[in-house]
A and B are shown apart, each in its own frame.
Chain A
């Protein structure tokens, strides 16, 4: 069931999701996006530039977090504006060959604002990894009927 603007209220929760990330996921994202920066797949390189280890692409985190909004809205094209700041890296440990997660990203969303004239609602996302907020001002504006 797709949400309608008149049924929404500021502060209302839209739900939550959990994104399990492995090193394989980062390699897949690198290939799909064309972003082959070695900090996202090579431990030696990542530590040599002062990172704790291999980190997820900020755009992987941003792109996977918005699925909560897309699924809630019922149409990926409903997301007309989406922005975030990347505040903390998401370190992904090497669990290759096991069933363990390399990192777990928790996403939740709530209605931050409603613009009845434009027919849009702003969903504010809270995105954390290991208890730290990894995205700030993660806001998706959604056009709804």
Chain B
């Protein structure tokens, strides 16, 4: 394997991103701030100010006011809170939840839990072959007893944007709480939550160069949701627990940097994606793109593709070991009884073989155009090696 900085071969930005220098510096500066932000001392006041400023920065990134932003431990807690917290008022007469088959496990599993535990009925809409759920399907599935609609902004595996703005209008018309898991979109696309019109929007700092273990939930109206964590009354009594100052400092810095640089990063990712598509078109190896490849309908940093004739899992390992390239895969190594195939690609109707040969490439602000060339060169070499091992090699 050639000697290079790990970030050069990193094509898994949708899994997590490297912490930016600015966010790391903010966290380092916050490390020794020990006064409890809820205290009455001067250092406590100063730490409260840090939290207030970080919240204001996140609010500016989202196009809203700080009073509507609540810190969580990450995207999963934000998703759990939006779903459980908004359904708690309906337990006496559980109704219907509308969601999609391509949601993150922290949405799908939470909804399954509510169905199992409390008796909610669930409609799980599948996307079409493009990877998008249709607005018509959502409109048709809404029932008089629909208590919640939960839909992601952009899919983590394909990058395909879902029709959340139009669904928000439908939800408003029916007075149905609407949750948007925007974990993959915040920091990648301009997002104005007030214009979007959703009731709850989830975000996670480590998807946009902030630290892990911190995220947030935008809540339009706190009367429509109950807290999950009760206690000392932090976060306007909506999410108790002494605040994670270090992570909050990192999130605030990352959000501010993102707000300033987002357009430039998005254009850069677009250039990378166009270079990748162009190189893939010219290569001798056969590839098939899963979902939309255009940059209006999908995140500029994401491409999911299948390489017929090879296993994605084997390809990913070979690229990592030979060339230090890191990608994500659509199918894990199976056991003897069940296949572990991507539910997202399955819901899109892909054949098992196509899912088994799928890899996800996601890049970001640190990806260079020549990294894309290095990626395609590695892909060509490794596919060739795997095919040589195979039966017709």
Is B one of A's binding partners? no
